[in-house]
Amino acid sequence: MQSPTSKFQPPYPWVAIVNNGRVATVTDRTLWDGIAGARPTSEVARRDVVVLRWPDDSAEVDRLAAARLPRLLLVEETADPPESGDCEEDWIRLPADDRDVGARLRALARRAARHQALPELDEYGRLHHRSRWVSPSSPIDQRIIAVLVERFGAVVSAEELIRRAWPEGPSTNLVLRAHLTRLRKRIEPLGLDIRNVRESGYVLEERGAGKAM
């Protein structure tokens, strides 16, 4: 970053990678498109902080909030600040000192890491969440849940699930729904749910999360 006394002038758009208290930046447009479209890539960890301008990027803020990605909003000098109680969001008014921005980024990354209880798959295909685990009952179920875990909190289309779960040949929506019904029951003890988003696809989320939307 710039010298400690300089004013913060970020390349835009960008992602702050907070690693062991150090801040680096990523400005690759392809990477950004994956995040802004709520399609996190393997290069982006969930605790990375996306930096946006407010109020210009209010639509992107909503999409990132739906994907549960931490975000720091750079508020224009004359703009009203956002009103949000989300632990994965913070803001700072421009112009801002590099040291202040860095401190906000590190604090936000730590807070998001504490609050984000994200499901994970281990090397044996078991799904872990909040100190519990279950094992999907078939390889197809494992491939379906792997996609949903990868995109936790984001909508995945039926077409993508079918393509990823049956790589050797096509299946049907009816067969997919049967597997999803079985998976819902399987993951219920973990406090997770697979919600059907009408005409869009399916989203893996905490049980009850969809009621607040």
**pTM, two decimal places:** 0.50
Residue 28: which pLDDT band, with cuts at 50, 70 and 90? very low
User: Lowest-pLDDT range, 20-24, 90-94, 117-121, 162-166?
Assistant: 20-24
Q: pLDDT value at position 42? A: 34
Whole-number Å distance between alpha carbons of 136 and 165: 13
With the C-alpha atoms ordered 61, 65, 67, 73, is the resulting torsion angle positive or negative? positive
Mean pLDDT of the chain, nearest integer: 78
Residue 70: which pLDDT band, with cuts at 50, 70 and 90? confident
Residues 6+ positions from 51 with CB-CB distance below 8 Å: 10, 12, 13, 14, 15, 16, 71, 72, 73, 74, 105
Domain 120-212, architecture per CATH: Orthogonal Bundle (1.10)
Q: Was domain 14-115 assigned CATH 1.10.3470?
A: no
Residue 67: which pLDDT band, with cuts at 50, 70 and 90? low
Q: pLDDT value at position 38? A: 34
Instruction: Rank 37-46, 103-112, 119-128 by mean pLDDT and report only the highest.
Output: 119-128
Domain ranges of the chain: 14-115, 120-212
